[in-house]
Amino acid sequence: MEIDIAKLKRLALTVRVLSIEGVEAANSGHPGLPLGAADMASVLWANFIRFNPSKTDWPNRDRFVLSAGHGSMLIYSLLHLFGYDLPISELKNFRQWESKTPGHPEFGMTAGVETTTGPLGQGFANGVGMALSAKMLAQRYSADLFNYRVFGIVSDGDLMEGVAAEAASLAGHLGLGNLVYLYDDNQISLADPTKVCFTESVAKRFEGYNWHVQQVDGHDHAAVARCIENAIKESGKPSIICARTTIGYGSPNKAGTADVHGAPLGKDELKLTKEKLGWTESGEFVVPKDVAEYCTEIIKSRSAECEAWQSKFDAWSGGNRELSAQFAAQRQRKIPEDLKQGLVDAFKEPKKDATRNLSGKAIQEIAKRVPYFIGGSADLEPSTKTLIKDSSDIQAEDFAGRNIRFGVREHAMGAIVNGLAYGRDWLPYSATFLVFSDYMRPTIRLAAISHLQSIFIFTHDSFWVGEDGPTHQPIEHVSALRAIPNLFVFRPADGLEVAMSYYAALKQPNSPSTLLFTRQNLPPLERESGFSPDDILKGGYVVQGASVNDLVIMATGSEVWVAVEAAKILAASGRSARVVSLPCVELFEKQDAAYKANVIPQGAKKVSIEAGITYGWHKLVGEGGLAIGIDHYGASAPGELLAEKFGFTPQAVAERIRGWLK
């Protein structure tokens, strides 16, 4: 490929100056990475990335992931120059209230930002999910239409994080040849040179992961272009280009030091840097005419590629109407109208079973009707019951299946699921034991921040796990998940609640959901007349005792049947109680005040039962209410015995309530 070195140098210079001016205006930010990475970023954007700033949802656009999100002014400068809806006023407003240029890139806030990055390693792993998405679309529909690539810039910090190691391992196993990362190897981290803690050979490590590895001077435009060309030709492996750069390139007194990583240059150093770089424009936030014209030429060329693709897509759609309709539904993440009834019918004959088994049954029903419902678990399919039975596994060179074998890589699993969700093409899920949600918490939180419809399935949800002991018995985890804003936490009590929990999760287009299931068997609930499955979709409803208004026992999941039996014991001694199931507290809280008061009367004495810590329940039981839980770790013994020891039998609960009432 012939590249125009002179124009690239001017483009990189403009990116550098806009970036450091934005950081200086905010008096906050990270100028070092944009100064150092501007050369290779300019080569990438000017010559390789397929994009259309006026059609940011073009399905076959290449994705650019700035995993090193602290260097956000780099991507903001590029997006502005290449015609995205990011005017110069937004660059001037970097890191300010209601700007489209937050301190770290945020998906959905800024046109052209494909991922929310900043927590290091997350963008790296998201990109793996995006690359996997392209491979799956290509095999399902058309390799000629869906062949986009994922490009990214990653930092030393990204590669130090364990999530990146997990994701890189899986990407190499799957042979994701459409994934190309430029490693900004500047040998400086926030506090010190990286040699104080990071002396491994990144090249050898990634060779071991089965990646295509190249090394280059990151300031040599022609050499960088050759490396990217080589990476694109390497169809059988993901690629990493180890680009040696100088952090803070051009800064006379701070280049190559940690001082330029995370603080503004200062007015004097800013002036000196511009002089050394050869910047002669007067004023601030100026785009030279020749650079603007160069970018306009590129935009026209890329937009033409997009239009050509659209014509090709239209022709394909005309000849493949069924596939085209399926793709359109997939892009909308459309839920079939008969899904809810299908799920209800699947559980019309209730039986005693573990909710993890019932979850597996629900997954099969969803998979029949929603072909873009995909996922897998962390090497736990026999335990989590999350395998789609009529589908094959996704493997290198065969992406037709729907089961993703993530291996024992929980952190990357969550981030890859988020990567699949970012494109809005799939309804992806992951699965592991609830106790390991700790490994996935950063990815779950980012899904919530980014409004992704990621579904996180967790089984073995309480001390009822039993003999595996406290290391595998989640005690604080349900409450910890509920503490994350914009996250729905479902803990269903029987088959019908499992079915409706899945349906509710699939109907939340802008929020992730967690579904928590038991290892032990639970009896189906006996509900009073007048109940409708739609009541479950409200997050909370009356199971029994609708006529009782002065005592309410609330419970979730495996403790709902305990509450029902405890209420029977209380009734036998003359004290009636209402039993309320709360399969999703977050959904219940979204209901109007009248409905909530109808389910949980404000003047009633309130009791909650959940096999986890009591933190958070006092909001619902109110002052003086009784929260029954376990505010200590579990123990190794059969689950039934632990229930006796921890006071979670119907008899023990009834006695606890009696004593409290007295």
Asked if 182 and 213 touch (Cβ cutoff 8 Å), the reply is no
CATH number of the domain that residue 566 is part of: 3.40.50.920
> What does the DSSP assignment read for 394-438?
PBTTB---SB----S-HHHHHHHHHHHHHTTS-EEEEEEEGGGHH
Determine the number of helices (DSSP H) and then strands (DSSP E) in the chain: 26, 17
- How large is the greatest C-alpha to C-alpha distance in the chain, in angstroms? 90
Q: CA 35 to CA 437: how far, in whole Å?
A: 38
Q: CA 454 to CA 484: how far, in whole Å?
A: 14
Residue 235 has pLDDT above 90, yes or no: no
Of 479, 477, 505, 472, nearest to 490 by C-alpha is: 505
Domain boundary among 496, 522, 548: 522
Say how many residues make up the chain: 662
Residues 538 and 491 both lie in one domain: no
For residue 573, give its domain range. 533-661
Q: CA 22 to CA 9: how far, in whole Å?
A: 20
Residues 417 and 560 both lie in one domain: no
In-domain check, residue 121: yes
Q: CA 645 to CA 661: how far, in whole Å?
A: 22
- Residue 190's pLDDT band, with cuts at 50, 70 and 90, is confident
Domain boundary among 282, 305, 328: 305
Domain boundary among 467, 489, 522: 522
Q: Give me the sign of the Cα torsion angle 656, 657, 660, 662.
A: negative
Q: CA 601 to CA 549: how far, in whole Å?
A: 6
Residues 591 and 490 both lie in one domain: no
In-domain check, residue 321: no
Q: Which residues contact 53 (CB under 8 A, 6 or more apart)?
A: 79, 82, 83, 84, 85, 111, 112, 299, 303
In-domain check, residue 527: no
Residues 517 and 540 both lie in one domain: no
Residues 407 and 288 both lie in one domain: no
Encode burial over 270-288: b for 16+ CB neighbours within 10 A, e otherwise. bebbbeebebeeeebbebb
Asked if 244 and 215 touch (Cβ cutoff 8 Å), the reply is yes
Residue 55 has pLDDT above 90, yes or no: yes
CATH number of the domain that residue 364 is part of: 3.40.50.970
410, 559, 586, 610: which one is catalytic? 410
Q: CA 213 to CA 202: how far, in whole Å?
A: 9
379: phi then psi, degrees, rounded to nearest 5: 60, 35
Asked if 37 and 184 touch (Cβ cutoff 8 Å), the reply is yes
Query: Could you report the per-residue pLDDT of 333-361, keeping only the tens digit for each?
Result: 999 999 999 999 999 999 999 999 999 99
- Residue 206's pLDDT band, with cuts at 50, 70 and 90, is very high
Query: Could you report the per-residue pLDDT of 471-496, keeping only the tens digit for each?
Result: 999 999 999 999 999 999 999 999 99
Residues 461 and 390 both lie in one domain: yes
Residue 201 has pLDDT above 90, yes or no: yes
In-domain check, residue 315: no
Residues 462 and 544 both lie in one domain: no
Residue type, 380: L
Residues 511 and 543 both lie in one domain: no
Over residues 584-612, the mean pLDDT reads 97
In-domain check, residue 326: no
Residues 355 and 386 both lie in one domain: yes
Over residues 129-142, the mean pLDDT reads 98
Extended beta strands in 117-245, E state = 150-155, 179-185, 212-217, 239-244
Query: Could you report the per-residue pLDDT of 64-113, keeping only the tens digit for each?
Result: 999 999 999 999 999 999 999 999 999 999 999 999 999 999 999 999 99
Q: Above pLDDT 70, what percent of the chain?
A: 100
Cα→Cα distances 404→168, 268, 304, Å = 15, 53, 36
Residues 219 and 356 both lie in one domain: no
In-domain check, residue 329: no
Asked if 368 and 346 touch (Cβ cutoff 8 Å), the reply is no
In-domain check, residue 87: yes
The pTM of the full predicted model, rounded to 2 decimals, is 0.97
Of 83, 68, 2, 4, nearest to 42 by C-alpha is: 4
Residues 230 and 152 both lie in one domain: yes
Query: Could you report the per-residue pLDDT of 145-174, keeping only the tens digit for each?
Result: 999 999 999 999 999 999 999 999 999 999
* Catalytic residue status for 410: yes
Give the up-direction half-sphere exposure of residue 561: CA atoms within 13 A in the CB hemisphere: 19
Over residues 302-323, the mean pLDDT reads 98
Over residues 390-396, the mean pLDDT reads 96
Q: CA 630 to CA 647: how far, in whole Å?
A: 9
Q: Which two tokens stand for residue 542?
A: 């009356």
Residue 320 has pLDDT above 90, yes or no: yes
Look up residue 119 and give its DSSP letter.
S
Look up residue 582 and give its DSSP letter.
-
In-domain check, residue 203: yes
Question: For the chain, what is the domain count?
Answer: 3
Residues 287 and 386 both lie in one domain: no
Q: So what's the pLDDT on residue 1? A: 79
